[in-house]
């Protein structure tokens, strides 16, 4: 069985790649080959991670930069390699491009996987909707809201962005190690965020929140993990507010789960999301989370998560963060893990179910 994963936005250390990686790692790989397309130049960390999980990485031109060359090279690759399943990940009907190419290359199982509740280019999305519904054979979504956004009343399967829950457990030794690396004392309040620096994640609002926190607690620190097109703009904002000594940019790292132990509370004031897997990871680490009310309730598995509107002034978020009762992460570990397992976020069970679905789809279509 040969499976091709295509993340339509490129291959980054984001929720989509972590989903692909987690399932590939946990899945029984007997008689199974997994190939991942990168329509950009992936970082060294990503290339190494793909190699570690025993998948093949194929690099083609970036769709957003050279669409014609991207289509040409993807079409040639699909015709040459002949996959049993093409699993396309995105957030809009623009996935029609990859799915139609897969269809005409002879692939009979084409999965459209929705990872968000809106998209950046709604005009093109609307234009392609009539074509899109004929381009895939099976529909997946990370959550109910993401599925309804892309598939409407059509049937879809909720495929949870499951995780190795043991990997994200709080560890005191990692806390001490990372706090030492970042020159943070145990008394420092550390706020964290993980996500690409783009419009969706609302980093400028995060900086405004932290500016208010810094006024009331000058020893507080902010840890930002990720990269993206807005990174330099956000660094400029940090410098403008004289916060550079208290804000840490860690970039794109592959061991986020270790850094989480050093943080006290996470924030996610996104403008929109599908079902953000980072909130699942944060809960698995026993971290209190303050998230935007635009985010689906589906990601709230424990009482560690609270919501606030991004229409509020930043000082409202700042006060909420400063008055958060920080959890005893050792004592809540077993309770949190049990709740996440019952909700379908354990990767071992999830990987077994996904492989069974793959096998069923192939037996029905070939």
Per-residue pLDDT of the chain (366 residues; tens, 9 = 90+): 999 999 999 998 888 999 999 999 999 999 999 999 999 888 888 999 999 999 999 999 998 889 999 999 999 999 999 999 999 999 999 999 999 999 999 999 999 999 998 888 899 999 999 999 999 999 999 999 999 999 999 999 999 999 999 999 999 999 999 999 999 999 999 999 999 999 999 999 999 999 999 999 999 999 999 999 999 999 999 999 999 999 999 998 889 999 999 999 999 999 998 889 999 999 999 999 999 999 999 999 999 999 999 999 999 999 999 999 987 899 999 999 999 999 999 999 999 999 999 999 999 987
Res 99: pLDDT: 98
Domain ranges of the chain: 2-162+346-365, 165-342
Whole-number Å distance between alpha carbons of 366 and 355 = 16
User: According to the model, what pLDDT value does residue 259 have?
Assistant: 97
Distant-in-sequence contacts of 14-17, Cβ < 8 A, 24+ apart: 14/195, 14/196, 14/226, 15/115, 15/161, 15/274, 15/276, 15/277, 15/278, 16/89, 16/115, 17/46
Q: CB count, 10 Å around CB of 360? A: 12
pLDDT computed for residue 187 by the predictor: 92
What pLDDT shows up at residue 64? 83
Using an 8 Å Cβ cutoff, are 119 and 92 in contact? yes
248-285 core/surface letters (b: 16 or more CB in 10 A; e: else): bbbebebebbbbbbbbbbbbbbbebbbbbbbbbbbbbb
CA atoms of 94 and 97, how far apart (whole Å): 6
User: What CATH topology corresponds to 2-162+346-365?
Assistant: Rossmann fold (3.40.50)
- State the pTM of this model: 0.84
Give the Å distances, CA to CA, from 94 to 38, 69, 113, 124, 273.
Answer: 17, 16, 12, 7, 18
* pLDDT score of 366: 78
Q: pLDDT at position 14, please?
A: 87
Q: Residue 308 in contact with residue 293, Cβ under 8 Å?
A: yes
Tell me if 179 sits within 8 A of 192, measured CB to CB.
no
> Matching CATH topology for 2-162+346-365 and 165-342?
yes
DSSP code for 155: -
In CATH terms, 165-342 corresponds, of 3.40.50.2000, 3.30.70.270, 3.40.50.300, 3.40.50.720, to 3.40.50.2000
* CA distances, 215 to each of 94, 249, 311, 332 (Å): 45, 20, 21, 31
């Amino acid at each position: 069985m040969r499976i091709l994963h295509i993340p339509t936005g490129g291959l980054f250390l984001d929720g989509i790649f972590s989903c692909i990686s987690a399932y590939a790692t946990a899945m029984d790989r007997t008689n199974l080959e997994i190939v991942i397309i990168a329509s950009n130049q992936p970082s060294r960390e990503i290339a190494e991670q793909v190699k570690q999980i025993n998948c093949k990485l194929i690099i083609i031109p970036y769709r957003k930069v050279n669409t014609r060359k991207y289509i040409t090279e993807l079409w040639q690759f699909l015709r040459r390699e002949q996959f049993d399943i093409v699993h396309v990940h995105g957030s809009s009907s623009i996935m029609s491009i990859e799915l139609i190419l897969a269809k005409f290359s002879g692939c009979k199982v084409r999965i459209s996987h929705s990872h968000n509740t809106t998209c950046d280019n709604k005009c093109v999305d609307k234009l392609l909707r009539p074509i899109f519904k004929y381009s895939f054979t099976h529909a997946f979504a990370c959550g109910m809201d993401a599925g309804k956004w892309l598939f409407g009343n059509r049937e879809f399967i909720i495929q949870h962005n499951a995780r190795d829950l043991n990997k994200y457990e709080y560890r005191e030794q990692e806390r001490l190690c990372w706090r030492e690396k970042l020159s943070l004392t145990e008394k420092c309040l550390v706020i964290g965020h993980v996500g690409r620096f783009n419009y969706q994640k609302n980093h400028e609002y995060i900086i405004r929140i932290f500016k208010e926190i810094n006024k009331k607690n000058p020893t507080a620190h902010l840890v930002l993990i990720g990269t993206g097109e807005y990174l330099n703009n956000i660094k400029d904002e940090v410098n403008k507010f004289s916060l550079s000594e208290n804000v840490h940019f860690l970039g794109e790292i592959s061991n986020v789960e270790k850094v989480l132990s050093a943080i006290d509370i996470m924030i996610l004031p996104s403008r929109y999301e599908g079902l953000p897997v980072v909130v699942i990871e944060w809960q698995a680490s026993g971290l209190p989370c303050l998230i935007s009310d635009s985010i689906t309730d589906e990601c709230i598995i424990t009482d560690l998560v609270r919501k606030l509107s991004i229409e509020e002034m930043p000082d409202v978020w700042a006060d909420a963060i400063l008055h958060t009762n920080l959890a005893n992460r050792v004592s809540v570990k077993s309770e949190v893990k049990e709740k996440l397992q019952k909700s379908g976020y354990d990767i071992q069970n999830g990987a077994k179910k996904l492989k069974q679905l793959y096998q069923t789809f192939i037996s029905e279509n070939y």
